[in-house]
Chain A
Amino acid sequence: MVNAYFLLNSVLNLLGGLVALAVSYYAYRYGRVTGSGFLKTLSLGFMMLGVGLLAQASAFIFFDLDAGKIADRGIFVYSATLVYLALQAVAYLMIAVSYSRRVQGGLKIAAAAAAVGALQIASTPSSLLLFGTHVLEFGELILVVLVALIVFQGLLIYGENRNRLALTVMGAFALILLAHIAKLSASLLSSGLLYLAGDLVQLTGFGLLLLFVLRSGPDGGN
């Protein structure tokens, strides 16, 4: 049962990672055609997000981790989780910054959010970060702030252009935000089921991103 839980969790992250890489590929492809710096940054952001999700999924699949082994390999799991959360945080920050170019003041908000996050990290005792019990919550909190910023920017853009694709992207990030709130709550409440629900909602968000790629992509019928 426990193994099935970790396997399902890994498969959900694997699928989400593949969708993020697909978005990254199209952003890169269109960035090459148009020479758009925005698309190149966006591509890098989604690539890091995809790699982060795949790294987390493969850590559990290839090392065949279950609850017992996680307890035995505490430092490894902690390090892997830190790397995974850091990759996601950098990825969302890049997406937020590239997104915010179109929204007046958005860049300043993104920079302020990043600065607040960095200050919080700097002011946190290293023992708490590396070996404490709150690293997951702390990482998830940073992700919630960054994704909330992306959703806010998406909302402003949709309000401005009423574009169906903008709505799809904004909806995708809103679901990803909900997923990180669920994961943060799961960590605080030590609820495995809530964490899995968060993964499911996150995958639904990535599903919307896939829909966006298909609609704007080669077979989108534009």
Chain B
Amino acid sequence: MAGTEKQRSTIRIYLDILLATEDEGNAKPTRILQRANLPHDRMMKHVSELQKRGLLDEVNNGESRYYTITDKGKTFVRELQRAEAFLSAFGVAL
């Protein structure tokens, strides 16, 4: 236990990816990777899931690929932040 970081939940990773994308506007995969602190394959798996749920959009302009957060994604982020605040009162992490 001591000295090791607790494993992040999937929902926490979703929030980190969505927040990174929201802050960046048009976020390149490398930026999401840095901000969410994930290996590339895991990040792509989660990004794909978020796209399926309609929370992220992929923008491909030939040379570059970006991700943007959708309105549904923004609503989801706000709800998760409220849930996080609610949970924190009971000493529970998201």
* Interface set of A (CB-CB < 8 Å, partner B): 26-27, 30, 33-36, 38-39, 42, 98-99, 101-103, 156-157, 160-161, 163, 165-166, 168-169, 212, 215-218, 220, 222
Contacts and interface: CB of A to CB of B under 8 A. Distances in A.
Name the residue among A160, A165, A168, A217 with the largest chain B CB count within 10 angstroms. Answer: A165
A122 B90 CA distance: 33
Given A30-B79, A99-B90, 17 more contacts: A33-B11, A33-B80, A34-B80, A34-B83, A38-B92, A39-B86, A39-B87, A101-B92, A102-B90, A102-B91, A156-B91, A165-B88, A165-B89, A166-B91, A215-B85, A222-B81, A222-B85
17 contacts: A30-B87, A33-B76, A34-B11, A35-B11, A36-B87, A38-B87, A42-B90, A98-B90, A101-B92, A102-B92, A103-B91, A166-B91, A169-B89, A215-B85, A216-B82, A216-B85, A216-B86
Contacts of A99: 90
Contacts of B11: 33-35
Q: How large is the interface on B (under 10, 10 to 19, 20 to 34, 35 or more residues)?
A: 10 to 19
B83 A33 contact: yes
A218 B82 contact: yes
Q: What does DSSP make chain B's interface, helix, strand, loop or mixed?
A: helix
Nearest to A156: B91
Contacts of A169: 89-90
Contact of B83 (A30, A157, A160, A215): A30
Interface in B51-94: 76, 79-83, 85-92, 94
B7 to A, nearest CB: 15
B83 A166 contact: no
Contacts of B89: 163, 165-166, 168-169, 212, 216
Nearest to B9: A34
Nearest to A23: B86
Interface in B8-24: 11
Nearest to B93: A102
B18 to A, nearest CB: 13
A160 B90 CA distance: 11
Residue among B76, B80, B87, B94 facing the most chain A CB atoms (10 A cut-off): B87
